[in-house]
């Protein structure tokens, strides 16, 4: 099973950025622990601050990977292009947010990508990524168990 975690703008600053909202762990150290926990799956990670690079990555893996866990950061609230990219691929995408965006400013309540993602997980800190991976694993188990 191949899963790619994609982080969008400013998420390279996790651990240093607004620690009261996003916590003090860097994504790199979290990702090392997650790879250990899920040593049976092929888990990769990509981060970019550039919308175009995020689109390119989604296009690159979106027909071969089994799942994408996407924290699009602020592009969540602005990007029709990301929504179109997700619509255009076959790999299921789970939308993730570290913070509970619905407890925050009004402009964070709207997501352009929610309608084209399988589901959204928000507000569980970095565990939001774990819950997204678990949801993809559950889907895979369902597919194995359901008669074709
Ligand atoms: C975020 C929430 C977004 O509103 C914000 O712009 C981010 C991070 C989150 O993970 O909580 O950069 O996606």
pLDDT tens digits, residue range 112-123?
999 999 999 999
Q: Which CATH number fits domain 2-145: 1.10.3720.10, 2.40.30.10, 3.40.50.9100, 3.20.20.70?
A: 3.40.50.9100
CA 50 from chain center: how many Å? Answer: 16
Determine if ligand 1 sits within 6 Å of the CB of residue 97. Answer: yes
Determine if ligand 1 sits within 6 Å of the CB of residue 73. Answer: yes
Rg of the chain on CA atoms, in Å: 15
Span from the CA of 49 to the centroid of ligand 1 (angstroms): 13
Q: Where are the domains of the chain?
A: 2-145
pLDDT tens digits, residue range 54-101?
999 999 999 999 999 999 999 999 999 999 999 999 999 999 999 999
Q: Which helix or strand (DSSP H or E) is residue 56 part of?
A: helix 51-61
Distance of CA 95 to CAs 23, 132, 144, Å?
A: 19, 8, 24
For residue 22, indicate whether it is catalytic: yes
For residue 45, indicate whether it is catalytic: no
For the chain, what percent of residues have pLDDT higher than 90? 93
Q: In what order do the strands lie in the sheet with 67-71?
A: 42-47, 2-7, 67-71, 93-97, 119-122
């Amino acid at each position: 099973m191949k899963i790619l975690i994609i982080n969008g703008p400013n998420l390279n600053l996790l651990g240093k950025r607004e620690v009261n909202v996003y916590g003090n762990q860097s994504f790199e150290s979290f990702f090392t622990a997650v790879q250990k926990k899920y040593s049976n799956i092929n888990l990769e990670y990509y981060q970019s601050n550039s919308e175009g690079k995020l689109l390119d990555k989604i296009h690159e893996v979106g027909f071969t990977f089994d799942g994408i866990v996407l924290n699009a950061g602020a592009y969540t609230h602005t990007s029709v292009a990301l929504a179109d990219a997700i619509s255009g691929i076959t790999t299921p995408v789970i939308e993730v947010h570290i913070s509970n965006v619905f407890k925050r400013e009004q402009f964070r309540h709207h997501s352009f990508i929610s309608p084209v993602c399988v589901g959204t997980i928000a507000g569980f800190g970095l565990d939001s990524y774990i819950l997204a991976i678990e949801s993809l694993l559950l889907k895979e188990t369902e597919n194995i168990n359901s008669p074709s």
